[in-house]
Structure 1
Amino acid sequence: MVEIKTPEQIAKMRAAGLVVAEMHRACAAAAVPGATTKDLDDIAAKVLADHGAKPNFLGYGGFPGNICTSVNDVVVHGIPDRDTVLKSGDIISIDAGAIVDGWHGDAALTVFVGEGHAPELHELSRVTEESLWAGIAAMRKGGRLVDISRAIETYLRRQRRAGGGRYGIVEDYGGHGIGSQMHMDPHLLNYVERRRGKGPKLVPGMCLAIEPMVSLGAPTTHVLSDDWTVKTDDGSWAAHWEHSVALTEEGPLVLTAVDGGRARLAELGVTAAPDPLA
């Protein structure tokens, strides 16, 4: 069953989303050479405490961190620790979540540590983020879930890496419903799988965490012995971008974007819904 939210519940999710946005701001600023991934986790914990919010990652299925810190060829679910020291030239995806009054927010971004990054890494992050916004723009009343998947895949398939190769759209992980729980129906693929059909209709009150994960090589991955850390099979580096989005009668509201997604959606010809907390 897909959980449909009331406007009041969406407002609470917006509050959680703004806490996530602040977690991202603080952690991204601290992702400098010499910092450990546990340093970032400690900063995230402080932001949560300062806002009276709860972590939704910590303890989820036994996960030991407040955030996921995925460095270089780690796609998702990297565990923060004192041993992973960031260095100039690294990229790190920071996946963060918060609970406010029982309602969840979840988002991820890819951050460049220091200097010296190859242009192909900047392009990898760019196309991954752009595919996210293409998916968000496709979240329209009366559409179907597959419209979001198609928009993400279509954008990515049109992009070519340096040398002409395609980007790897990670196969085993995708987006999800979000609301009174962090992970809910429906599961959202970042590509179209014909046998799954069109998926549920997009209706006001539906909330989704949309999150493309893209590699510079093959789309296949494996999980390390810690049962969490997901790496690319071929060692290629990966980017991860995510936002939690509510569909309202007035259009999409990007719950985890400071401006509700207004500026980026306007570039795509889509009007963002009014912010219930403005």
Structure 2
Amino acid sequence: MIIIKTHEEIEYMRQAGKVVGDTLLKLEEIVRPGITTAKIDEIAEEFITKQGAKPSFKGYGGFPASICTSINEEVVHGIPTNRVLNEGDIISIDCGAILNGYQGDAARTIPVGKVSSEIMKLIEVTKESFFKGVEKAVVGNRLTDISYAVQQHIETNKFSVVRDYVGHGIGRDLHEDPQVPNYGKPGKGPKLVSGMVLAIEPMVNIGGFKVITKPNGWTVVTVDGSLSAHYENTVAILNEGPEILTLTK
């Protein structure tokens, strides 16, 4: 069941979204060669809690950390450890926060030091594909109009879109209906109405789209070992147009 949010609920989600957006901006500043993903997680948790919020991911389904840190061929759900980031890596940081009972959820892929032009293109196309999807997140469209727009931009740029993991509705719960695929034919799925709130999150690989979960039960990696990027925001669908709740800069 898709839960339609009231204006008051969306205002609460703006507040939670701001915490998430500000946290990711903070983390972008500290990502550098030599830092560990555990340290990034520590800084994220401290920053979130100082805003009066709680990390959404910590303990969620047994997840042991406050953020997901996915490096290079890791697509999503990477667990922070004492692994050190190296020059030329990329790291996808997925962050969630709950404030006043409502959730925010967003992700960014960040280069560690200098990376190749191909890797920068992967990061940029992934981000662009999100905004292509948001252009279709308007009242009266169908859900897969978003999906189609995302996929078209990714594949036009010769990358592949992950199919096993998708975006989702969000509100009081981190994951609500509907699922939001990043691929598919347009004109399908539920009609978009004011008050829907969606986490739209393209996951994009340089190589093939197939992924597999590592033995830790969490970390998803590309089957072919190719690099992967992730870009996500929480988006409210409103009569006046879509509002990105987790984009604070």
In the superposition, the TM-score normalised over structure 1's length comes to 0.88
Residues 161-172 of structure 1 correspond to what in structure 2 (within 5 A)?
166-172=158-164
The aligned counterpart of 2:96 is 97
In 2, Cα distance between the equivalents of 1:240 and 1:247?
Answer: 22
The aligned counterpart of 1:173 is 165
Q: Deviations over 1:35-85 (max 9, x none)?
A: 000011001101111100011100010000100000000000000011x10
Correspondence for 2:235 among 231, 238, 245: 245
Q: Deviations over 1:140-183 (max 9, x none)?
A: 10111011001101112221xxxxxx211111001000001000
Find the residue that maps to 2:91 and give its secondary structure: strand
How far apart are 1:184 and its partner, in Å? 0.7
Find the residue that maps to 2:55 and give its secondary structure: coil
For 1:80, the aligned partner's letter is P
Correspondence for 1:228 among 215, 218, 232: 218
Instruction: Figure out how many residues of one structure are paired with residues of the other and give that number.
Output: 249
The aligned counterpart of 1:183 is 175
List gaps (5 residues or longer) in structure 1. Answer: 160-165, 260-278
Residues 1-278 of structure 1 correspond to what in structure 2 (within 5 A)?
1-82=1-82, 84-115=83-114, 117-159=115-157, 166-192=158-184, 198-258=188-248
For 1:174, the aligned partner's letter is V
For 1:16, the aligned partner's letter is A
Root-mean-square deviation (Å): 1.1
For 2:102, the aligned partner's letter is W
Find the residue that maps to 1:201 and give its secondary structure: coil
In 1, Cα distance between the equivalents of 2:248 and 2:49?
Answer: 19
In 1, Cα distance between the equivalents of 2:239 and 2:138?
Answer: 9
For 1:63, the aligned partner's letter is F
In 2, Cα distance between the equivalents of 1:202 and 1:43?
Answer: 37
In the superposition, the TM-score normalised over structure 2's length comes to 0.98
In 2, Cα distance between the equivalents of 1:11 and 1:37?
Answer: 32
